[in-house]
A and B are shown apart, each in its own frame.
Chain A
Amino acid sequence: MLRTVGKRLGVALLSILGVAVLTFFITQLLPGDPARIAAGQYATEDQVAQIRERYGLDDPVPAQFAHYLGDLAHLDLGSSVRNDQPVREEITSRFSATLELGLTALLIAVVLGVGLGVAAAIYRDRLVDRLVQVYVVLATATAVFWIALVAITTLVNDLGVFNSPTGRLPRGYSPPGDITGFYVVDALLHGDLGTAGAALRSLLLPALLLGGLASASVVKIVRSATIKALESDYARTSRSFGYSRTSILFRDGLRNSLLPVITNVGLVAGFVLAGGDVIVEQLFAWPGIGGYAYASLANNDLYALRGYVIVIGVVYVLINTALEFLYSWADPRVNLAEAR
């Protein structure tokens, strides 16, 4: 078993190295001069040249690459060209916000996706199924910024259900003492129900939007996998033995449809942490790494951008590695030790 875990972690490390190498060369191709942006409109060519020299931007590409890998080996992501601050610290200070939003959205996506998928499978070709299909089409085709605008206008401004999109807490509240980095959890741990509630009301709307949009693919997979499982020979056998409908659904249907769902959760996690997250963070003024990445891209802040991609890459690889282990738990037929 240890050998298998070692092998999987080795593959994960190689994947992360691949991400790091690709990131370097892709960011090299981006047009624009980060030094010019950082220096500002009044800066002379000499001052811009000084910035290039300070950040090694005028070194030959192989030298920059070697320097980059060397720093990375020491977990040093360099300094932002915009404000000279260490990228690792900049990302660390924002990461818990992204993780809180991403994990909540992921939870919503899975719960919503499994719930609706199962409902659609049970009531196949009936009204419930049709409504779920409409939901899937809308969630797949709707632009995040449009639905966010509608949601904020109605649910925040008209009905006052959620807080205004001004970040993790509304005005008048201070962040709770840092324990986990998740405001809701930290406030609860401190026994501060008011702050926990305020944080929850700020978190829920962006998480619902992100999770709701991401749930579409989960719904589709759960629906088809559950239908397949419920039509299988073993489900028919269970029925003939007189097992209840609920028992057949949970024991035969859901358990056997879990494998494709687990595969899909990896993709959904990628979407909520790195794809939709960047847009949602912008829309809700959420102080996470998505907004940081957006600003870094606009300013061609190479080190910040590379840092973001590497961190997201690492998270993505770790999630997928964890899911591989989850496979073998969910389906004993999958034996990681034998996998080549």
Chain B
Amino acid sequence: MKNKSRVLGATLAAGVLLVAAACGNGSSGGGGGGGPADEVVVAYSQTVDSLDPHQFKSDAGYGVVGNIYGTLLQEKYDASKDGILDYSGQSAPYLAESATWNAAKTVLTFVLKDGLKFGNGDPVTSEDVVWSLQRALSDVGYVQAIGQWLNITDAKTQIVATDDRTVELRVTHYSPLIEQLLAFQIFAILDKSAVEAAAGADDPWGAKFLATDATPTGPYVVESQIAGKSVTLKKNPDFTAADIGDAPARVVVQSMPDAQQAFLALQNGAVDLVYGITPDIAQAVQKDDKLHLYDLKYSTIAYVGFNNNDPALKDVKVRQALSYLMPYDALRSDVMNGFAGAAYGAVPYPMQDSLDETGDKVAYPTDVAKAEQLLAEAGHENLSLTLSVPASDTTLSEDAVFIQSALKKGGVNVKINKMSDADYNANLGKMQMYLDTWYSWGQDSVYQMFFLLTTGTFTNYTNFSNAEVDDLVKRAMATTDTAERHELSQQAQQIIIDQAPWAFLYTQDYLVGARKGVEGITHSNDANLRFEQLRVTK
């Protein structure tokens, strides 16, 4: 009798689970039915690690923050072409109703739109704007380093509210970058009183609070979060700065750490969009009739950095020789599967003011004989070098193998050192040769050269130092004349190419896989999606 009861119980439990499993077949991705047209699921390879606009974070984090916070200005896009919205090169007022320079171009005045509200219903005031920009320029996060490009030396006195809706930015001098930068999420407008209420003496800028909580001013608000999995956004009912009537009602930002599984989820409709896919997956997307690949051209440069303090690599002839040995064509075609462009110097096409106007030029085309001649002249015929690479980046790891093989042809032995991200980052500036990529939001040539190649800058990981380049970049930063800035930039670019502090390998395209029917992919200057621009058809 006892045994019979047990069997009956077990059968009943199994029956309930079977019925439940059958019931759970409804809107799962397994069936491949896709979701409702007003919901978009966007997959990123990482989790959303912070919601603070001023802290460094994962791509998924930037994806969310860029859509829950509004900025004074926003990027203006051309009309959709093949599902892509290209950045027009201009900024337009967003939370601001107007942005006006004075005649001397030293004061930029913003007037806020009437009736703006935070997600909690409180009004957005000029005091919030001033506090938000001051927080961005404070030492609370990394934005301070970028903030200097606003040409503000003292945030307390140069960012001023003149009335409830008006804010003045009193800059030392005009720069075309100022308006571009103010459209980025790093200059998001936050709720001063809400953050200050959560801040403490040891955390005056409320970093702990803003890491997990938002004070939204953008088109979306956070509806729910599942730690380590997803953040669900819904339309901000209080958002009045722009018309978002046609925007998706909900956007789920989903973490999919494994690239293959993300592709399979895209195939069966469990996700609509996979942001930042690898070249191999991009090829698979192209072959699937139900999917669409968005191939976005960017100036993200992949390069081999030569430590200019190294006894062998400080000789320009050695650096040039190594540049001549690089297998540029193979890297673009075999590693990047063609989703890459040529990189002519440290300011590659399509970056503003690039010496290369078409994206076809290569500074040091592969030439083994020339490389051997230069190595002989430098007295380094049997060179042995170490090339460090972050192991988490599969594309760079593949690059390293191709480079090792190519350099061998010129008599250079390369040892590949695969490092954890933490180890790699801690050793930037100390490694003999390293593989890296870099993308400068704004795609500005002067900005890029300043951060990567001027003497003493903390992101100049090759320790390259050239007085002429330093001077040209400094003058380009100081001038208000756009034509002069262009000329100075190009002079500096040419010196950098001649000095070969890096081997300029290629530019990486940004690859987005989507199911057919998903359009409105923003080819934005900060390489982030504007969710309100997405349009989904079943």
Contact = CB atoms under 8 A, between A and B. Distances in A.
Interface of A: 30-34, 36-47, 50, 82-85, 90, 93-94, 97, 145, 148-149, 152-153, 156-157, 160-168, 170-175, 184, 187-188, 193-202, 204, 282-285, 287-288, 291-292, 294-295, 297-300
A287 B230 CA distance: 9
A284 B257 CA distance: 8
A298 B422 contact: yes
Contact of B261 (A84, A197, A283): A283
Interface in B114-153: 139, 141-146
B261 to A, nearest CB: 5
14 contacts: A32-B424, A33-B426, A37-B421, A42-B451, A47-B144, A83-B57, A164-B29, A170-B30, A171-B270, A196-B20, A202-B28, A282-B258, A285-B257, A285-B258
A283 B145 CA distance: 37
B260 interface: yes
A156 B229 contact: no
A294 B26 CA distance: 33
Contacts of B57: 83
A31 B256 contact: no
A83 B24 contact: no
A157 B49 CA distance: 30
Contact of A157 (B145, B227, B264, B422): B264
Given A50-B139, A167-B226, A300-B423, 11 more contacts: A44-B458, A93-B228, A149-B260, A163-B30, A166-B254, A168-B229, A184-B20, A194-B24, A287-B229, A287-B230, A298-B420
A319 B312 CA distance: 57
A42 B56 CA distance: 9
Contacts of A173: 27
Contacts of A149: 260-261, 264
A33 B50 contact: no
B211 A201 contact: no
B29 A166 contact: yes
B459 A42 contact: yes
A148 to B, nearest CB: 8
A84 B422 contact: no
A195 B261 contact: no
Contacts of B24: 163, 193-201
* CB-CB nearest 3 A-B residue pairs: A197-B24, A40-B56, A32-B422
Contacts of B30: 156, 160-164, 170, 201
Nearest to B34: A171
Given A31-B426, A157-B267, A197-B23, A163 B28 contact: yes
Contact of A31 (B207, B257, B419): B419
A295 B47 contact: yes
Nearest to B24: A197
Contacts of B72: none
Contacts of B459: 41-42
B29 A171 contact: yes
A149 B425 CA distance: 32
Residue among A43, A47, A172, A184 having the largest count of chain B Cβ atoms under 10 Å = A172
Interface in B222-275: 224, 226-230, 252, 254-258, 260-261, 264-265, 267-271
Given A164-B270, A196-B24, A200-B21, A285 B426 contact: no
Contact of B264 (A156, A198, A299): A156
Interface string B35-63: 11001010100110110000111000000
Nearest to B203: A84
B212 interface: yes
Nearest to A79: B208
Contacts of B211: 83-85
A201 B28 contact: yes
B268 A157 contact: yes
B264 A165 contact: yes
Interface of A is mostly: helix
Given A93-B227, A164-B29, A33 B270 contact: no
B260 A171 contact: no
Nearest to A157: B268
A195 B141 CA distance: 41
Contacts of B255: 167, 285, 287, 291
A4 B198 CA distance: 49
B425 A33 contact: yes
A163 B258 contact: no
Nearest to A294: B257
Contacts of A199: 24
B479 interface: no
B8 interface: no
A171 B252 contact: yes
Contacts of B271: 164, 166, 171
Contacts of A188: 16, 20
B26 A194 contact: yes
B392 interface: yes
A331 B338 CA distance: 66
Nearest to A91: B227
A30 to B, nearest CB: 7
B19 interface: yes
Contacts of B142: 39-43, 47
B35 A172 contact: yes
Contacts of A97: 228
B11 to A, nearest CB: 15
B201 to A, nearest CB: 14
Contacts of A299: 421-422
A38 B28 contact: no
A153 B459 CA distance: 43
Given A31-B423, A298-B392, A197 B25 contact: yes
A331 B254 CA distance: 49
B236 to A, nearest CB: 20
Given A36-B426, A287-B226, A172 B421 contact: no
B31 interface: yes
Nearest to B47: A295
A294 B422 CA distance: 13
Contacts of B31: 160
A93 B224 CA distance: 14
Contacts of A196: 17, 20, 23-24
B22 interface: yes
Contact of B56 (A41, A153, A166, A202): A41
A127 B224 CA distance: 53
A300 B268 contact: no
A187 B21 CA distance: 12
Contacts of B422: 30-34, 36-37, 298-300
Contacts of B379: none
A163 to B, nearest CB: 5
A201 B21 contact: yes
Contacts of B260: 149
Given A42-B56, A172-B28, A285-B256, A163 B19 contact: no
B176 interface: no
A161 B21 CA distance: 10
A156 B29 CA distance: 9
Contact of A166 (B27, B36, B228, B256): B256
Nearest to A98: B228
B204 interface: no
A96 B30 CA distance: 24
Nearest to B48: A83
B421 A94 contact: no
A84 B25 contact: no
A42 B148 CA distance: 12
Contacts of A202: 28
Interface string B342-353: 000000000000
B9 interface: no
A54 B504 CA distance: 38
